[in-house]
Chain A
Amino acid sequence: MATDLVPGAVPDTHRQPAEHPTPGKAARRFAAVLRYRWLYLMLLPGLVYFALFRYWPMYGLSIAFKDYVPFLGYAGSPWVGLKHFEELFTGPDFARLMVNTLILALLTVLFVFPAPIVVALLLNELRKRLVKQSVQALIYIPHFLSWTIVASLTYLLFSADFGVLAGFIHDLVGGRQSDYVAQAAWFRPIIVLQLLWKQTGWGTIIYLAALATVDIQLYEAARVDGAGRWRQFWHITLPGIRPAIVVMAILTSGHLLDTGFEQIWLMTTSLNRSTADVFDTYVYYIGITQGAFSYSTAVGLFKGVVGLVLIFGSNWLAKRLGQRGLF
């Protein structure tokens, strides 16, 4: 870059066309770089960032097919083909990881995905502006709290000694009041509750934005035609947010296997590993704490590829069903 900025470089490019009647591709490119040198210079730090911290890791994925030895580097480590993937698919952990991840994904689809839609529709029906704005202001808050805070709150509220929610469950199911939060059976309900508490409010934003774009004249026309409140909801409001629902469904599907590393990790205890272990946390245990870099990279790559397939697959499906896809 620096050499491009030397003033002496300018006459050179002007001389070249004399030798070649039509300037070559390289020469034209060079002229463009020179002309927009400040813009390219501004682009440079960002490109370095993307190269270092976004694309170098992608190159690093190659160690999923190698036995990575740190002092040999990415290129020098020996190829082992699909060894690590075979180990993953035939190993004792795979079934448990897959089942745990899929159950959490299923629970997400069933409860966490529809919740913001329902709340947005309810908010949309509110007639009192003040109530609406107050409710919105409050339910957005948890989105901005860290998972560490949410986990800590959960541990306090479910504390066996004084937790109010532990008391509720105790009254509900009877028996001895115990540390529900540490038990395998309560892991999934608690994860879903956390997700609902933290993300439902924030999730309404996109649907409320979609609802705000519905043409008011449609409601007027429907009223003139004698449509009641329910029919207006069913025939105008609901179709109005369908595109938003489709977009969110596609996006969500791409993240189905992303179980939220921080959340799961923070809620995992030595007692609930049987239901808590998912791909994300498994990668951490195997990779960071045990140092099996190649194997854990293979696990991560498997998850990433499934995510890609899911997002493109659901996008294709949405188009087949006559909806507008994402891309």
Chain B
Amino acid sequence: MERSGTVRHYDSFGSRVFDILNVVVLLSLAAITVLPLLYVLAGSFATEAEIDTRPFFLWPQKFATEAYDYIFATDTFLRALLTTVGVTLVGTAVQVALTLTMAYPLAKRYLPGRALFLNLVIFTLVFSGGMIPTYLVVRNLGLLDSYWALILPLAINPFYLMIVKSFFQELPEALEEAARIDGCTELGVFWRIVLPLSKPVIATFSLFYAVGIWNDYMSPLLYINDSHKWTLQVLVRQLTAPNADAENVLNQLSSPTFPQQGLKFAVIVIATLPILLVYPFLQKHFAKGVLIGSVKE
């Protein structure tokens, strides 16, 4: 990356014009990316009147928290928030535990049957049973309307599994060998040697799994009917869909001060905020190239 400054010197006029244009184009691109998000943030703190009259703004004329006051006072929202946080925490723990324990033996080249197991995993990358057969499995297991339906069907991401497996393969075998000679079982080696060495990888995939569950809309759509078990994403949808009846969704009596539009802005902000908070950590890891293999997620 240093090369642009040190190796290539272009002094021609055309080259300089290109450089300026390039910076302008890319900065505009970055602006287009973040402006909608900033607008929603500003709108969530604006009054209903301002949202209705100003098409786009990045700073509210009159600072208002009525949308947040309103939504935090509804049971529907609080329940969805709690459900989502709970499912995300438990789900991430299950996913990470399963991925790590499966990746470790798969990383052992000497393990008889390893090739077969690897091929079984790789095949699922190119082919799957699809929506309905998976739905029927969840139904046959009696998991419909269970929080586990939001966790178990996605418990191992085969892409992540393969990347963790490659990481384990890179670990120096000599360390593990030394522990084994000292009388450690394979389980002990995994627990005392391998896991402590894998903290950055564990952190990375915990975040990626957590973001996946937090953002998941398809699983609740397929497996959850009970409106008491809605996740935040479902609530966002229910409040922002065309012709959404927000008062009905939130189980509130109609009132003249109902922040019809502001609610949408606020709920989007709340559902997005945790992602943006962990984003710097995500970026730190994937920028290192940890996830190159799984770009096509």
Contacts and interface: CB of A to CB of B under 8 A. Distances in A.
A4 interface: no
Given A148-B236, A152-B268, A261-B218, A287 B289 contact: no
Interface stretch (A13-21, A98-106, A118-126): A118-126
A308 B123 CA distance: 11
A139 B211 contact: no
B242 A269 contact: yes
Interface in A135-171: 135-142, 144-149, 151-153, 155-157, 161-164, 167
Contact of B34 (A56, A138, A164): A138
Given A283-B130, A283-B132, A300-B130, A141 B112 contact: no
A181 B215 CA distance: 23
B73 interface: no
B23 interface: yes
B275 A144 contact: yes
A293 B136 contact: yes
Given A126-B26, A149-B272, A50 B120 contact: yes
B22 A38 contact: no
Interface stretch (A58-66, A85-93, A317-325): A58-66
Contact of B112 (A29, A52, A293): A29
B133 A139 contact: no
A29 B141 CA distance: 33
Contacts of B106: 43
A226 interface: no
B105 A39 contact: yes
B258 interface: no
Given A144-B279, A212-B1, A261-B218, A122 B7 contact: no
A129 B271 CA distance: 32
B19 interface: yes
A7 B23 CA distance: 70
A127 B5 contact: yes
A60 B133 CA distance: 5
Given A42-B187, A146-B217, A152-B268, A128 B23 contact: yes
A10 to B, nearest CB: 15
Contacts of B43: 156
Nearest to A166: B55
A42 B136 contact: no
B12 A228 contact: yes
A225 B292 CA distance: 34
Contacts, number: 283
B132 A297 contact: yes
B132 A42 contact: no
A153 B36 contact: yes
Interface residues of A, number: 107
Contacts of B217: 146-148, 262, 266
Contact of B292 (A152, A209, A311): A209
Contacts of B272: 145, 149
A209 B289 CA distance: 8
A38 B295 CA distance: 33
A127 B101 CA distance: 44
A164 B184 CA distance: 64
Interface string B99-122: 101101110100110000100110
Given A162-B55, A261-B218, A39 B289 contact: no
A61 B129 contact: yes
Interface in A39-82: 39-43, 45-47, 49-50, 52-61, 63
B190 to A, nearest CB: 7
Contact of A46 (B98, B264, B282): B98
B52 interface: yes
Given A36-B108, A46-B101, A164-B55, 5 more contacts: A131-B27, A139-B30, A146-B271, A148-B271, A179-B242
Interface of B: 1, 3-5, 7-8, 10, 12, 15, 18-19, 22-23, 25-27, 29-30, 32-34, 36-37, 39-40, 43, 51-56, 98-99, 101-102, 104-106, 108, 111-112, 117, 120-121, 124, 126-137, 141, 152-153, 155-156, 158, 161, 185-187, 190, 211, 214-218, 221-222, 233, 236-237, 240-242, 261, 264-265, 268, 271-272, 275-276, 279, 282-283, 286-287, 289, 291-292, 295-296
Interface of A: 29, 32-33, 36, 38-43, 45-47, 49-50, 52-61, 63, 119, 122-129, 131-132, 134-142, 144-149, 151-153, 155-157, 161-164, 167, 179, 181-182, 197, 200-203, 205-206, 209, 212, 216, 219-220, 223, 228-229, 232, 248, 251-252, 254-255, 261-262, 265-266, 269, 280, 283-284, 287-288, 293, 296-297, 300-301, 303-304, 307-308, 311
